Every structure is written in C-alpha cells, then in structure tokens.
Structure 1
Amino acid sequence: MAVTASRGAVRTTATPARTTGPMTRRTRSKAALTARVVVSVVVSVVMAFPLWVMIVTALSGQSVFSTQLDLLPTDITLDNFARVFSAWPVGQWFSNSVTVTALTTIISVVVSVMAGYGFAKLRFPAKTPLFLLLLSTMMIPTQAILVPQFRLVNALGLVGTFWAVIIPGAAATFGIFLARQFMLAIPTELIEAAKIDGAGPVRIFWSIVLPLSKPLLAVLTLLSLMYQWNDFLWPLIVLRDPSLYTLPIGLQFLQGQYQTDYGALMAMTLITVGPLVVLFLVFQRWFVQGFATSGIR
C-alpha cells in the first residue's frame, strides 16, 4: 500500500537560531556607565577649575590674568596670606562671620523645623491658605524689601549691631517648605500611637520627629550656613562699623579701582570659601539624603 503525500502538505522551513547583536545588554550597560563617568569627570574638571586657579594664585602669587598662563605653582609661599592678615583685620572679620552665621543658622533651623512640623502634622484653621501665602513670599525679590526691612530694623534700634543681620534671617521660607515636605513622609501612625501612650506635643516632637529628621537638619543647616556666610548686601547696609564687617564685605577692600592684587584677593577668597567646602565634603551624604527624602527633585 503506497503512502502518498497530500497536495496541501504543510511546508516546514527551518527557523534560524536567535542570534544576539554585537551590542548585548551587558555591553550597552557598560557603555552607558562609561559615558556617565566621562561626563561626570568633564563636569567635575570644569567646576573645579576656578577653585584650582584660586588655590594656585593664593599659594604662589601667579595669576591667570597675567600674560603667561601657568596652572602649576612653581614656588609655594604664604606671603599672600601674611600680607592680607597684616593689612586688614581678617581674624576679626572671620570671627564676625562665624558669630553671625552660627546664631542665624541655629535660629533659622529651629524655626523652619517647628513651622514645617506644624504645617505637616498639626491641624489648625486656615492652614492651607497660610502655607500658600507663605510660599507666595518666595516670589518677592530680596531687593524689593530692603527699604521696608531697613526701616523696621532701624525702628527697633538694631542698626549697627549683629542682631540687625541675625533677626531678618531667622526665618527662611524655603526652609519651612523643605521641612514640611520632609515631615509629610513621616508616618502619622507613629504620632497617633505616641498620643495613645500619653505623649504630649513636645515629647512627640522631641522623641519621634527630630530623630527621624536628621537628614533634614543637615540640609537646612548647610543651606543656611552657605547663604548667611556668603551674604553681602544686607550686612553691608546695616553693619556700619568696619570692626563688625564679615568676610564677604572685607573682600571688597582688596579690589582696587585701577589695580588689584590678585594674590592677596585669592588668599582672602580661599579663607572665605574654605570652611564651606570642608563642611560640604563632611556632610554631603546627609545633604543628598535629605533632598532625596524631602520630595525635592
């Protein structure tokens, strides 16, 4: 008996085995990582170049503003620093900056954390309109309130004292906003459980909220430190006595109208920015973590 194939026999074709292209997933991930590293290195070099120029000029007296560009110091010397300290009361200005910045930062952080906790977890009438009104003040330029702020400080008799700088900086709108965004992520169940156990508002804030807000405290502290340490215009207006000047104001004495000693200027600038760079390098982990957990992207 012969077996014949039907006319409608299905044609079978051999399917080639799946082959991966030259760019596998691992290769693509390595290429993306390499690209990110290259971009990070380039951006880091660009950002660090002014700092390197400042260090070279301060330690050797060489300057990129001269006819010859030399980014490597040949003779390291501290003559620029000695000249600055002998000509101007840099130590007094540094002490003034530390005093004003420390007091303003402490008060600002306390006010921001307490206000942020109130807007995030407490219930009171018109909470949302008040918070929106507070946020609207961020759209007002600082220069627009200099005159009324000066009149207020002058009426209080604080002009010519450190308090004229400290009190206006005691509350920062962005700090309150950042604290509120961070504390919204704190579980309300923890606070409710503490209330059931008999804890009062102060005990809840001190024993539960603050221990969970260490990254927030680090961010608020660094932001306030950087702003107050570098503030120039307002201290220049209200600090009339040169013995009360801070470092940013003192920098202006080293800039001449026709000629500038860039070695001394860069030495003074290095003294001014050095503490901030050290603080950021020490607390950068808390700084990044605080921004990552506060809802700010």
Structure 2
Amino acid sequence: MSRPIRFAICLVVAVIFVLPLYAMVVVAFTPRELVFDGGAGLWPQRWTTTNFRDLFTAFPVWRWFSNAVLVATVTTALSVTVNLAAGFALAKLQFVGRTAVLLVVLSTLMVPAQAVMIPQFELVAKMGLIGFFWAVILPSASTALGVFLARQFFVSVPDELLDAARLDGCGTWTMLRLVVLPLARPLIAVMVLLAFMTQWNEFLWPLITLRDPDLYTLPVALRFLQGQFDTDYGGLMAMALLSCVPLLVVFAALQRYFVAGFSRSGIR
C-alpha cells in the first residue's frame, strides 16, 4: 500500500482508540445538569471545572491518589526485581529441574486469577496483612508473564559475554548487575510499564483486602461515585481522567523502549 493509504488507516485506528478518552474528557468538563439533560455531545455547550472542584471537596482524592502511587510503585519495583532475577536464573544458570520450574511458571498463566483468589485471601489473612498495603503488594511481587519475558530476553544474551565476566572475577549478582542489566533497558521498560499499569488498574483485590476507605486506591474509590439511584457521571469521569494521567506519563517516558523490549523478548 502507498504511504497516504497507510497513513489514512493509521489515522482511522487512532481516532477509534482516542474517541473514548475524548468522551471522558468532554463529560468531565461538562456541567452536571447538562449531562443529565443530554447536553454532553461531542462538544459541550459550556466548559466547567466544577466537577473537579466538587470531587476534591467531597472526597479525599489526593489521599486515594497517593495510595495508588505508593502501591503501584512498590509493587512495580518488587515485581521487576524478582522477575529479572528469576528470568536470569532460568535462562543462564544451570541447575536440576530448570525446565520443570519454567513449565510450572508458565502453567500458571492458564489459571484464572479468580480461581486462586480464595486461597490467596486465606494465605494473606493468616499472615495478618488484611487491612494493610502489603496485602495488595506481596501477591503481585512476581508474575509469570514477567518471568517469561525476562527469560526470553536473557536467552539472547551471548554466553561468551558472561564467561568473560566470570574470568574477570564477577560473581552471579555482580555479573547480573554490571553486565546483563545495562543491556536489558528495553526489557526493564516493558516490565515497569506492564507491572505499573496492571497494579494501577487493579480493582477487585484491593477492594477485598483494604477495608479502610482511607487506604483505597483510585480504581476502588471510583465506586463511591456510583450510587444505587444516582450516579455523578461528571465527577466519575473527572476521577477516571485523573487516574489516567500517571499511566500516560509512564508510557510517554518509556515508549521509546517499549517495542524494542517486546521484540527482543520474542513476543510478536
């Protein structure tokens, strides 16, 4: 296909994906009375920031936002660290049962999260973590997809490079930290983005384990704006728009490594 045709196709696809985000922005900046009267079209009759002011006045939005940032950041750091170490071990270290361990890790991808939610809750409850952030963080400290991506990436690292590092006196951790990780920037970017996005959008598990509303994250706090008989759609879209900002910032910062990380991990 010629370049103009490809550009037109990409433009149409981009509009399709951007349209829901644009609709969310329009409703967030439309007065509440106009939303219920059908005045929230593709271009609102009157722009206002009342939804945001009412939202911050009625609810502890900044607390929920800081909770979400804290949980997502700590979970991402733990997940990336554990997945990188596990992926390197499965790719480059020789030990008995390595293939079996990899198969067990990959088999967990076929198990729905809802199937293990009850035993996982019982385990967290026995550890005394219910009602604390660690109840949300620790179950996501490692993921099968992250281990698989790291393993596939590290398989492509030449063994000769690692042998040269061993001849220079590097141990396993020193070799991983000084030799392998500098080559894995695209992989780290992909893992950070996936882990942060997954944890930031998590709803059901924080709702179950965080009993104090002051500990809620933004996705859980959105339910406060959904009533049985009335829903504040303007405030709901305002909070949803606020929750999208960190994801857009993280993706904008890491997007240059995103495609390279997936391609070098063997994902097509």
TM-score category of the 2 structures, normalised to the smaller one: over 0.9
Q: Are 1:59 and 2:29 counterparts?
A: yes
Does the 8 A contact of 1:105 with 1:225 survive in 2? yes
Change (3 A) 1:69 1:167: closer
Counterpart of 1:11 in structure 2 is none
Structure 2 residue aligned with 1:45: 15
**Could you tell me how far apart the structure 2 residues matched to 1:65 and 1:196 are?**
72
- Which residues of structure 2 form unaligned runs of 5+? none
Matches within 5 A, 1:239-254: 239-254=210-225
1:263 corresponds to: 234
Query: Aligned letter for 2:166?
Result: K
Residue 136 of structure 1: aligned partner: 107
Distance change in 2, residues 1:133/1:65 (3 Å): farther
Distance 2:50 2:38 in 1: 22
Following superposition, the deviation at residue 196 of structure 1 comes to: 1.5
Cα deviation, residue 248, structure 1: 0.4
Which structure has more helix as a fraction of its residues? 2
Quick one: which amino acid aligns to residue 140 of structure 1?
A: V
Q: State the structure with bigger RCO (CA 8 A, min sep 6), 1 or 2.
A: 2
1:49 maps to amino acid? L
CA distance in 2, matches of 1:118, 1:183: 9
CA contact (8 A) 1:53 1:64 kept: no
Give, in whole Å, the separation in 2 of the partners of 1:177 and 1:148: 24
Q: Looking at CA atoms only, which structure, 1 or 2, has the larger radius of gyration?
A: 1
Residues 84 and 147 in structure 2, CA contact (< 8 A), matched pair in contact too: yes
- The amino acid of 1:240's aligned partner reads R
Map of 1:1-297 to 2, 5 A cutoff?
31-61=1-31, 66-68=37-39, 70-297=41-268
Once the two structures are superposed, what CA deviation does each residue of 1:23-45 show, in whole Å capped at 9, x if it has no partner?
Answer: xxxxxxxx432222111100100
C-alpha separation in 2, matches of 1:128 and 1:64:
57
Which residue type is aligned with residue 290 of structure 1?
G
Q: Post-superposition shift, 1:195?
A: 1.0
Structure 2 Cα separation of the partners of residues 88 and 110 of structure 1: 35
C-alpha separation in 2, matches of 1:65 and 1:54: 15
Q: For residues 95 and 73 of structure 2, what CA distance do their matches in structure 1 show?
A: 32
Task: Look up the equivalent residue of 2:198 and give its one-letter code.
Answer: Y
1:281 is displaced (CA, Å) by 2.0
TM-score w.r.t. the length of structure 2 is 0.96
The percentage of aligned residue pairs carrying the same residue is 50
- Post-superposition offset of 1:64: 7.2
Q: Is the 8 A contact 2:39 2:45 kept in 1?
A: no
Structure 1 residue ranges without an equivalent (≥5): 1-30
Q: Quote the Cα distance in structure 1 between the aligned partners of 2:260 and 2:227.
A: 43
Aligned residue number for residue 26 of structure 1: none
Cα 1:117–1:249 shift into 2, 3 Å:
same
Which digits, 9 at most, give the CA deviation of each residue in 1:173-206, with x for residues without a partner? Answer: 1000000011111111100111122221122111
Could you tell me whether the CA contact under 8 Å between 1:104 and 1:169 is conserved in 2? yes
Distance, in Å, in 2 between the alignment partners of 1:252 and 1:108 is 27
Provide the rounded CA distance (Å) in 2 between the counterparts of 1:295 and 1:224: 19
Distance 1:243 1:207 in 2: 41
Partner of 1:16: none
Q: Secondary structure at the match of 2:231?
A: coil
Aligned residues: 267
CA–CA distance in structure 2, aligned partners of residues 60 and 246 of structure 1: 25
Task: Work out the CA distance in 2 between the residues paired with 1:64 and 1:117.
Answer: 53
Q: Which amino acid aligns with 2:181?
A: L
